[in-house]
Amino acid sequence: MEKKNTVQEQPSSSRRDFIKVAAGAAAGVMIVPRHVLGKGFVAPSDKITVAAVGAGGKGTSDIANFFKSGKANIGYLCDVDDRRAATSVKNFPQAKYYKDWREMFEKESKSFDAVSVSTPDHTHAVVAMAAMQMGKHVYVQKPMTHDIYEARMLTEAAAKYKVVTQMGNQGSSGDGVRQLHEWHDAGIIGNVHTVYIWTNRPIWPQGIPWPTDKPAVPKELDWNLWLGTAPYKDYVDNLIPGSWRGWWDYGTGALGDLGCHLMEAPFRILDLKYALDMQASVGSVFTAFGKRGIFPDSCPPSSHATLTFPKTSKTKGQVTMHWMDGGIKPERPEELGANELFGDGNSGILFVGTKGKMMASEYAANPRLLPLSRMEEVKVKQKFARVPGSADGHYAQWVEGCIAGYGKMELSSPFEKAGPLTEAILMANLAIRGADMPKPRATGNGFDYPGSNLKMLWDYKNMKVTNFDDVNQWVKRNYREGWSLGV
């Protein structure tokens, strides 16, 4: 297998120039109709060729599932870490391998149709935007982006460039969310006014100081390229493969990891879009008696965020959504038996309506009415078509959508749906970061946390909190020099 040399970071390079070059190369792509080739031949339009950015970790299973659809050729693999990419490289020896996705896009854009993005959160947007600007269909792991601004821009770009998009929250293709949707629309639990969501995440360290050790960078890893849009910091151990989720420069905490899996069901069922306000409280770490640790780079160890959504066509009034992580759970509903499992034990979703309650596990799996005895009593006619393969069919659905073309097939989590969902998750993170933000007291003795006592009011159109400006710096972060979203 041919291996390409890594292109080193050149801060002075313009991503706009790169896009122009790559887009010009992509203009030569032509889809050949089946009838031209004659009987017995498989036309290029019957399969797509995928270029995968992020070939290790979650990327390993993403790539395997695209291939499993039977209609995707894995043509190109890209990863900044040869160690992480090893399994995919072994599984797809015919695929060309790159370390720098920009080099891959520039050299190979004529030869692939779609891009899978399975990188850490802080690089989702730049890769996805570059792909869409070349007219490539895009699958992006959850959360769709790291910042609210990025989510808004990618949502608009998907419509502008007319490409097929899907976010990697597989539960949106599951049978569970459709069953919940049918119960709701049949009026089984009445008008939903409150939703509780909880998870045992984080399962990585949070609420900790940045490591002070400075080990050598592994020879297989391009650390500068891994940092991408984020500020430069010296390499530290144990950030890769998954603990980057707990650091704000790269990850989006527990919400970024599981929010898209757990919040998608209420978003779909209640037709939610953009929240009116948000507030949060967070767990804290004390490093000595009476001394609270201040670790601004790290997500807090636990949090409870609340979002208020306006009335929609599916609700009678506003909806309050509670997010709880770090092991915090809502009070057990009185309809649930003392020994009956709440959610799935670690995570869960609870809908509270005027006539009853329903709950589900992670991915909206295992939907149940409360009390559980109602499961035997209530029969509702199927209203929504199931996705072949349920949650596992999420990948094949995107592949089929790419083959069909933009606007020709309904997908479970296109950017028009995934964008507002991602924005809500990141809005909750604004409240969490604001609640964890210390302000020195005028006396010079200790700190106050004014953000923990506020309901932050959200201006959707202008993407800003109107009554606590301190958090607006994270709506659209500043990229490291040499990186741009290209809009």
Buried b (16+ CB within 10 A) or exposed e, 367-389: bbbbbeebeeeeeeeeeeeebeb
Residue 487 pLDDT grade (very low, low, confident, very high; cuts 50, 70, 90): confident
Residue 444 pLDDT grade (very low, low, confident, very high; cuts 50, 70, 90): confident
Instruction: Assess whether pLDDT exceeds 60 at residue 190.
Output: yes
Give dist(CA 472, CA 463) in Å, integer: 8
**Angle formed at CA 396 by CA 72 and CA 409, multiple of 5 degrees:** 105
Give mean pLDDT, residues 416-422.
Answer: 98
**Angle formed at CA 135 by CA 147 and CA 65, multiple of 5 degrees:** 75
- Other C-beta atoms closer than 10 Å to the C-beta of 58 total 15
* pLDDT tens, residue by residue, 285-326: 999 999 999 999 999 999 999 999 999 999 999 999 999 999
Q: Do 44-171 and 172-387+415-474 agree at the fold level?
A: no
Give dist(CA 147, CA 429) in Å, integer: 10
Return the residue matching tokens 């991915």. 363
- What fold characterizes domain 44-171? Rossmann fold (3.40.50)
Residue 3 pLDDT grade (very low, low, confident, very high; cuts 50, 70, 90): very low
pTM tops 0.75: yes
Write down the pLDDT at residue 41. 37
Return the residue matching tokens 């007219």. 135
Give mean pLDDT, residues 221-246.
Answer: 96
**Angle formed at CA 257 by CA 466 and CA 386, multiple of 5 degrees:** 105
* pLDDT tens, residue by residue, 37-61: 333 333 456 899 999 999 999 999 9
- Other C-beta atoms closer than 10 Å to the C-beta of 84 total 19
Give dist(CA 227, CA 126) in Å, integer: 13
Domain boundaries, the chain: 44-171, 172-387+415-474
Q: Which CATH number fits domain 172-387+415-474: 3.30.360.10, 3.90.1480.20, 3.40.50.360, 3.40.50.2300?
A: 3.30.360.10
* SS3 at position 6: coil
Give dist(CA 477, CA 487) in Å, integer: 15
Residue 19 pLDDT grade (very low, low, confident, very high; cuts 50, 70, 90): very low
Give dist(CA 299, CA 119) in Å, integer: 19
Q: Return mean pLDDT, the chain.
A: 92
Structure tokens at 198: 């909880």
Instruction: Assess whether pLDDT exceeds 60 at residue 15.
Output: no
* pLDDT tens, residue by residue, 100-128: 999 999 999 999 999 999 999 999 999 99
Pairing relationship of beta strands 96-98 and 72-78 according to DSSP bridges:
parallel
Residue 25 pLDDT grade (very low, low, confident, very high; cuts 50, 70, 90): very low
